[in-house]
Structure 1
Amino acid sequence: MPETLHGTVQALAGTAGDAVALIHGDRRLTYRELDRAATTYAAHLTKYEVGRGDVVPLLLPRGIELICAMLGVLKTGAAYANLDPTWPDTRIGDVLDQLRPKVAVTAGARRMPAPVWQALPAAEAALDTPTLAPVPVTGTDPACVFFTSGTTGRPKGVLSPHQATLRLFGPDSFARFDTNTVIPVAAPTAWDGFSLEIWAALLSGGTALLVEEPFLTPQALRDGARRHGVNTVWLTSGLFNAIVDEDLDALTGIGQVMIGGERLSPPHVARFLAAHPGTLLLNGYGPVESTVFATTHRITPADCDRPGGIPIGRPVPRTSVYLLDGDREAPPGEPGELCIGGDGLAVEYAGLPAQTAEKFPTLRLGGATVRVYRTGDIAVRDDDGLLHYRGRADRQVKIRGHRIEPAEVERQIEACLPVRRCVVIARRDDHGTVQDLAAFCIPTTPGDPLPGAAGILADRLVAYHRPAVIHSVDSLPLTANGKLDERALLALTRPEPAEPGPVTPPTDALTRLVAEVFADVLGRTAVDARTGFTDLGGSSLAAVRVCARLSTQLERPVPVSALYDHPTADSLAEHLRTTTEGYGEGGADVPRELPLSAAESSFLTQHLLHPDSLAGHCLGTWIVTGEVDHEALRQAVADVHDRHPALHAHYGHGRRGLYRTADRTGVPPMTTLPSAADVAGAVAAARAELSRPLAVTAGEVWRTVAAPVTGTATTVLAYAVHHVAFDGWSESVLADDLATAYRARAHGDQPQWPPVADLGRLHTIRTAHRAAAGTGDQLRRRIDGLNGLPELQVPAGAESGGPAQVTRELSAATVHALTAAADHHGQSLFQLLLWLYGRALAECTGQRDFGIGVPVAQRVDARIEHMVGCFITMACVRLHGRALGPDGAATAGRLIQDAMRDVDVSIPELVRALNPPRSGRAPLFQTIFALQNNTTPHMDLTPAQATFLRQPYLGIPTELQAEVWPHDDGLRLVITTDRAAVADDFAATLADTFTALATALPPTS
């Protein structure tokens, strides 16, 4: 493999020249065209005597010409420095003063204190074939310069060598990067996150999709996956949180998601993993001085429950990490400063030898002389070798991935404004993520309110340095210990600022909707329809949230660029009105009879065909120890019934198909059973009462029972909810809401909880999702992939039906080995387990081609996160041929990923299209596999204590169902069968085979 970035791309141009390297809008550039254009650029740059040891600034917007220029600079032997064209002139001038370049490349005639060459159009450059003598460059030579924050008030140039980026994307990479990789490029061009995105594609022969939006949005993600097959994504944790909150389904079908740049939010990560179990989610940590990532960690659901937060993992290839207490290595369990060594280290800080020597010392560690970068981050290594981030040793923070030294911002503000002193403090959200900066200034003239300060700073500071609020203060408060009282200063920023004068009311329904979304996202009661979004306090992440919500509610894309160009509610509404053909101000009417989702339709159809079946019953059981207020419990059940549309809706079927309406059904009574002799008897009695079929179309969607235990303060509380109104996520929602309502009613109060979407809003959300997600290409791909799918043949069972259950345990050591194997294959644990289940089925049946049903969460909007309901869909994964062999993990992973990418194609659509021969069995798959990693439900009935008891199913929707349940450090395999369809001994053999395969799997097989 070549040891330079441009050499690797040139090699790919020779072996795969016709492959598409870059996509930008309607433009395409192949590897051959890219390499030719870069050579042309290099030839022009050599006219300015650019060569090895030089740095060439590139003031170009994100686009194909920028990438050609980067490679052109590298071909001359020089290093490039991407400068954001939107930076203030003062910052660009400061950077150019440090670099003193021979030439700078721009897209226009911008006045600059350096010679300027205007970039050629890439298509024109690709037609030229100049002769260019190769320049001898090694992997240790500088390739690029990143400008980062410095405490002196000036940005620091970090010179990164070729090998620093190359080490990330080789065959031993931390993730899967190959010719199939399609990744959006949306990061700021001057940031090392941009390097991650562009070189992940270009060093692996993949495709880089250059995003036209200012940054990656849910709509850009969805469009990229649908139109171009985007399968790998990098998101800062702040943007990740926003997408999870606003449009979780935008990440459907993406096989790899890399997140980081700042501390992760476990609740957001947990929601993502529950919704997308087939996606590899990676936490990446690394300062720019070690180029992109120094460590990565494949995140599992168990990581979300770690008291210290989600680990930052282990070193990436050709990288070493040391935790130092002074110059002593800290042992496991003891915190130390995180110091990084290896090929990722920067060459130097440009023109700053003293700072380079200070931050990049050479130390004697482990008997060897090692050059390291001292990050200033504190971390601890556990006994398994995992690294856990513990914070900073100084004031440095990160905002949306940008490293910020508050001292640098303070010095800039002091130079721009008439102030004697400035203190800048980071403001954090409830999860500890830095949201923005607040500046507190002591004015030169006492009492000066500093009018116009925000405008002055907007002209002179880069966007991520600009404080969200600027306060003029007479003095800086101190704590009893004489330290700056940051809490007291931050308290000044909490009250909502008074609205500037009377609020201009919206003049029509569309403007009212836009203004309401502005206000909701910004946490205001109302906003002025003629005031700009940023003037109202809106940030870039808030803009993502606004556009995601508007896209959902208007059932059409609303790009962030539209909000930037039309920043007021008035102007944005007018833009949306004039660019949407046939749009009505009030939006589409919501029909009275709302159609069901594919999963809901399936469960209701099964009920209509087999009304006495228990296959659709979801059972929940709680052992409550302590005195229970039964009247409060009855009221709580009524409250929850009234709160959730899925529980109180009327379900039916008519000429237009299956539906539900917002007509509220009556509250089902909570049945109190006679006292039982012991807990086991109470559980059995409750189970028997809940084993009667639910009359779904008659308004009985769920039923609750309470079974007391004689002579004790113990009660068994249990429910059965029909699957048409319930899913695994709903377990925790129902438990939380029952507990909230019970505690309130026990004190004579009404429950207080956040609002949930009504059926009309839910219909709008689902309609928007279907419009955005469903495509003919997806349906055609799934038809091609499932055509001719045979039925799974298993030994038939006894004549009498009913569910039977077999369980097996996988130890913590086995889980550790499985996780390592999944990491090795660049897969999630779910994908590896599904492959093993397929192999077990193949061994036990002798069959080498079959389908497996996989439930996939479809909670596509933050407003339905707290709703009880059936928000899932089913994917059919076809495993066959090589995928079922001992070396088939990678093949199986691709098949699984393909099925998940097209998960929005419903099973009914596929059945209608394929029309498979029916034999009284499910037409596509006869078995289901699920990794049940939803949070274990918790019900706080203080002062009583409630313990959740997971019971065997009352019935199952398919003949054979396999589930893997995480518990403690291990996994529990549960195989449930319909005894009328599957022999008992087959289930036991299948469970034993799966366990044996899982236990014997080498970590790197």
Structure 2
Amino acid sequence: WAGATSNYPREASIPELFRLEARRRPGAVALEAGELRLTYGELESLANALARCLEAEGVGAESTVGLLTERSPEMVVALLAILKAGGAYLPLDPSYPAERLRFMVEDGGVSLVLASEGSASAVAGLAGVKVLPLEGCLEAGGEVSAPPEAPISAEQLAYVMYTSGSTGLPKGTAIPHRAVVRLVKEADFMHLGEEEVFLHLAPISFDASTLEVWGPLLNGGRLVLAPSGAQDLAGIGSLIREHGVTSLWLTAGLFHVMVDERLEDLASLRQLLAGGDVLSPPRVAKVLALPDGPAVINGYGPTENTTFTACHIMAPGTELPAGTVPIGRPIADTRVYVVDAAFRLQPLGVPGELVIGGDGLARGYRGRAALTAERFVPSPFGESGGRLYRTGDRARFRAGGELEFLGRLDAQVKIRGFRIEPGEVESVLSSAPGVERAAVTVREDTPGERRLVGYYVPEDGGDGGKELEASLRAYLEESLPSYMVPAALVELAELPLTPNGKVDRKALPAPADVGGGEGQGYLAPRNQTEELIAGIWSEVLGVDQVGVKDDFFGLGGHSLLATQVSSRLRNALGTEVPLRLLFENPTVAGLAAALAEHGREDLDIPPLVPASREGDLPLSFAQQRLWFIDQLEPGSPAYNMPLPLLVEGDLNPSTLEAALTTVVARHESLRTRFESEGGRPRQVVDAPWTFRLPLVDLQGLPKEGAEAVTRELVRRDGMAPFDLAAGPLLRGALLRRGAGEHVLVFNMHHIVSDGWSLG
């Protein structure tokens, strides 16, 4: 199955496309971070200056530059500057252990690293690697309006992104410019244009950031940067409201938590993308049921095919069929196949391995020729010179042509949206001091909550106890990113084995509840705050009993569950509970004390103030979405809301007209139309007007004939478009079918009404 062939600029590079936007709309806002705003012209100038500095340092075509920084405006400038200089960026997350960062720099062939203040020490002292302070380079660059002159081809390397590797070492995926351009230009899985405001939440080392950053910036949109570090749910909601965010990407785990805890914060979005794991149909249904809520897009795609391969688009109001949420159809310029072990195409409904082709494919793995040859193979399906990527995912085509994800063929898993090879974690745990043998597996003891669990046998058959467990956790945290550290560590006298001598992973025991009883070290909550915290932890973590000395992360907590705790404490206490309080005070007693010090400040809920009628009236987010859709499809009746009503008994048409006139006078939205000036829409509220109901007399027709004419008139009216600029955006007619029987044919545009209004 192939996606559509689009007219995206196949030969263009990322800097070239950004430069076109900067020339077209230099004064338009490109980037927002807190109170800071950078226009397209300013971002172009800053990136040009830094690119010239990088050129002077020897950066050119195919150079790989490490970028070690938190999410910030400087990060975006650096990404663009590296590409302008002809180089490729290798994102380095400052939260990663130094050992992993140093491996990525050396393995990625990096000779230059741009590092933000306070991060450089992690990669300092590597042979042949120069580390430059990012802030200093930006200050030294001055103002340069002209970009570097070296041409950049679409085949050139754009970035290298590392993911978990089954051999115990991460592997770098090499992505060319064309793959990124294919993702974000002429996209058919979502709308990307100058009216879109995209929130950048993902870590820069996670390939969702490719869409979040370049999706808006190469289409004239606005990029909003979330503050660096973990985000609490209330903070995400505030960012959506304060910046007018229209498009948002969430991992499946964060999507589920937001729906459970902060559903109302998603209502103003136009497009909500989620993926990285299987979506919960009931939670998707909740979003689709939001009045004027967003479309939900279930996105699937490995890093090796540049963020997205297939998408399933669900419009607001869509009713989900039974079963899992499909991953949809291939996006434009992408081909997908389901094959058996002999690479033969599978019929509809028959599972097999999902393989991918098209313009989004990576070059392969940096410095891993054998692995590249194994995973990226020549296509046997008639594409001259074509390659296919073997995903290792099981899938099947449904009867309607949509893909259904069925899991992995190997041991690789996704937890909280991150791709993890348990073998890599197992390799690190096995190498830890004091460990004789180890195994790492994924457990789902609580439905929907997958977690890594590490099992180890101490050296010399001894009893390592809590001291060894603590040292192992410290060792893992120094060697692996936080999302790869097992949620629980279990000491065993021996690992269970199968008859052929391999670890019997099915026989590995479930980790005991660390806080599950009044055992050694248990201390019950001593006051109401501690009882509240312990109760919330018990619910969120699935632990029967939590003591005041218990550590949230030691009980299996992680950042995603921490956001749930923060949200529930906020609702219970009526005060903001910053996520950092839990990270800094991970025990029940510590968090209770921190909350007492933090104070019970009232929530800062802004008062509802009537909007001034002076000057232009802006559109709500939901109205903006409907207005833009109307501009894309003028004359479309898709958002008409026809409502035929059977009225039995005596009816005075003049009295009905007077009643409707009163309703229109009372509700401004029914007198509102939508003009535009310079492409910017505004609301215009007209003075009260008299509602007229044309009367159509059907009394002379037989009953069947009157029914047929009624249906046809209702159909015609439902298909007749509204003119949003001219108005009015509601109309009606009265069909008289007898002395005591009328049909009121009522119709209005969704932009001035919704299901709640009609209810």
Asked whether the two chains share a fold, i.e. TM above 0.5, the reply is yes
Task: Indicate which of 641, 645, 649 corresponds to 1:837.
Answer: 641
1:438 Cα offset (Å): 0.6
State how 1:962-981 maps to structure 2 within 5 Å.
Answer: none
Once the two structures are superposed, what CA deviation does each residue of 1:941-964 show, in whole Å capped at 9, x if it has no partner?
A: xxxxxxxxxxxxxxxxxxxxx99x
SS at match of 2:443: strand
1:522 Cα offset (Å): 2.5
Q: Structure 1 pair 137/259, CA: closer, same or farther in 2 (3 Å)? A: same
Task: Indicate which of 220, 235, 242 corresponds to 1:220.
Answer: 235
CA contact (8 A) 1:21 1:205 kept: yes
Query: 153-162 vs 191-200, which deviates more?
Result: 191-200
Partner of residue 372, structure 2: 356
Partner of residue 486, structure 1: 505
Partner of residue 266, structure 1: 281
CA contact (8 A) 1:33 1:126 kept: no
State how 1:839-854 maps to structure 2 within 5 Å.
Answer: none
Q: Structure 1 pair 5/490, CA: closer, same or farther in 2 (3 Å)? A: farther
1:248 Cα offset (Å): 1.4
Note if 1:231 corresponds to 2:250: no
Q: Structure 1 pair 491/14, CA: closer, same or farther in 2 (3 Å)? A: same
Partner of residue 581, structure 2: 562
Once the two structures are superposed, what CA deviation does each residue of 1:151-198 show, in whole Å capped at 9, x if it has no partner?
A: 111110001111111112223431011112112211111110121211
1:502 Cα offset (Å): 4.7
Rounded Cα–Cα distance in structure 2 between residues aligned with 1:875 and 1:378: 54
CA contact (8 A) 1:427 1:490 kept: no
Task: Indicate which of 48, 62, 66 corresponds to 1:53.
Answer: 62
Note if 1:306 corresponds to 2:110: no
Q: Structure 1 pair 571/453, CA: closer, same or farther in 2 (3 Å)? A: same
Rounded Cα–Cα distance in structure 1 between residues aligned with 2:297 and 2:675: 28
State how 1:487-506 maps to structure 2 within 5 Å.
Answer: 487-493=506-512, 497-498=516-517, 501-503=520-522
Rounded Cα–Cα distance in structure 1 between residues aligned with 2:547 and 2:740: 68
Partner of residue 408, structure 1: 424
1:227 Cα offset (Å): 1.2
SS at match of 2:219: coil
CA contact (8 A) 1:158 1:350 kept: yes
1:518 Cα offset (Å): 3.2
1:306 Cα offset (Å): 2.8
Rounded Cα–Cα distance in structure 1 between residues aligned with 2:136 and 2:39: 15
CA contact (8 A) 1:426 1:437 kept: yes
Q: Structure 1 pair 27/218, CA: closer, same or farther in 2 (3 Å)? A: same
1:417 Cα offset (Å): 3.9
CA contact (8 A) 2:161 2:172 kept: yes
Q: Structure 1 pair 538/990, CA: closer, same or farther in 2 (3 Å)? A: closer
Partner of residue 484, structure 2: 465
Q: Structure 1 pair 876/409, CA: closer, same or farther in 2 (3 Å)? A: farther
Aligned letter for 1:18? Answer: G
1:506 Cα offset (Å): 5.7
Once the two structures are superposed, what CA deviation does each residue of 1:85-133 show, in whole Å capped at 9, x if it has no partner?
A: 1111110111122123221110134124121010126984785217553
State how 1:555-594 maps to structure 2 within 5 Å.
Answer: 555-580=574-599
Rounded Cα–Cα distance in structure 1 between residues aligned with 2:691 and 2:383: 71
State how 1:527-676 maps to structure 2 within 5 Å.
Answer: 527-529=546-548, 531-580=550-599
Rounded Cα–Cα distance in structure 1 between residues aligned with 2:182 and 2:386: 18
Partner of residue 204, structure 1: 219
Once the two structures are superposed, what CA deviation does each residue of 1:288-347 show, in whole Å capped at 9, x if it has no partner?
A: 00011100001367774433x111001111111111122212222222211111111001
Partner of residue 709, structure 2: none
Partner of residue 192, structure 1: 207
CA contact (8 A) 2:52 2:148 kept: no
Q: Note the aligned Cα RMSD (angstroms).
A: 4.3
CA contact (8 A) 2:642 2:747 kept: no
Partner of residue 66, structure 1: 75
Once the two structures are superposed, what CA deviation does each residue of 1:879-937 show, in whole Å capped at 9, x if it has no partner?
A: 74799xxxxxxx9xx99xx99xxxxxxxxxxxxxx99869999xxxxxxxxxxxxxxxx
Query: 349-358 vs 492-501, which deviates more?
Result: 492-501
Rounded Cα–Cα distance in structure 2 between residues aligned with 1:397 and 1:469: 17
Aligned letter for 2:583? Answer: Y
Query: 183-192 vs 2-11, which deviates more?
Result: 2-11
Task: Indicate which of 347, 350, 363 corresponds to 1:331.
Answer: 347
SS at match of 2:460: coil
1:781 Cα offset (Å): 11
Partner of residue 28, structure 1: 37
Partner of residue 4, structure 1: 13
Aligned letter for 2:540? Answer: V
Rounded Cα–Cα distance in structure 1 between residues aligned with 2:611 and 2:481: 42
Aligned letter for 1:22? Answer: L
Q: Structure 1 pair 129/776, CA: closer, same or farther in 2 (3 Å)? A: farther
Note if 1:38 corresponds to 2:47: yes
Q: Structure 1 pair 393/467, CA: closer, same or farther in 2 (3 Å)? A: same
5+ residue gaps in structure 1?
584-767, 788-821, 842-846, 854-873, 884-890, 900-913, 922-961, 964-974, 995-1005
Rounded Cα–Cα distance in structure 1 between residues aligned with 2:178 and 2:545: 53
Partner of residue 318, structure 1: 333
CA contact (8 A) 2:515 2:547 kept: no
Note if 1:83 corresponds to 2:99: no
CA contact (8 A) 1:426 1:434 kept: no
Percent sequence identity over aligned pairs:
33
Rounded Cα–Cα distance in structure 2 between residues aligned with 1:879 and 1:321: 47
Partner of residue 344, structure 1: 360
Q: Structure 1 pair 779/772, CA: closer, same or farther in 2 (3 Å)? A: farther
Partner of residue 475, structure 2: 456
Query: 12-21 vs 440-449, which deviates more?
Result: 440-449
Once the two structures are superposed, what CA deviation does each residue of 1:518-573 show, in whole Å capped at 9, x if it has no partner?
A: 34322345544455432343211111101111222333433323332343444444
Partner of residue 426, structure 1: 442
SS at match of 1:784: coil
What is the number of residues matched between the two proteins?
665
Aligned letter for 1:179? Answer: E
SS at match of 2:209: helix
Rounded Cα–Cα distance in structure 1 between residues aligned with 2:428 and 2:593: 38
Note if 1:384 corresponds to 2:393: no
1:279 Cα offset (Å): 1.3
1:233 Cα offset (Å): 0.6
Q: Structure 1 pair 166/561, CA: closer, same or farther in 2 (3 Å)? A: farther
Note if 1:118 corresponds to 2:133: yes
What TM-score comes out, normalization by structure 1 length? 0.60
What TM-score comes out, normalization by structure 2 length? 0.78
Partner of residue 784, structure 1: 617
Q: Structure 1 pair 499/144, CA: closer, same or farther in 2 (3 Å)? A: farther
Q: Structure 1 pair 510/146, CA: closer, same or farther in 2 (3 Å)? A: same
Rounded Cα–Cα distance in structure 2 between residues aligned with 1:293 and 1:481: 41
SS at match of 2:537: helix
CA contact (8 A) 1:186 1:214 kept: no
Rounded Cα–Cα distance in structure 2 between residues aligned with 1:408 and 1:68: 33
SS at match of 1:160: strand
Q: Structure 1 pair 278/530, CA: closer, same or farther in 2 (3 Å)? A: same
Partner of residue 437, structure 1: 452
CA contact (8 A) 1:186 1:215 kept: no
SS at match of 2:431: helix
Partner of residue 412, structure 2: 396
Rounded Cα–Cα distance in structure 2 between residues aligned with 1:343 and 1:142: 14
Aligned letter for 1:294? Answer: T
Rounded Cα–Cα distance in structure 1 between residues aligned with 2:575 and 2:735: 44
Aligned letter for 2:43? Answer: L
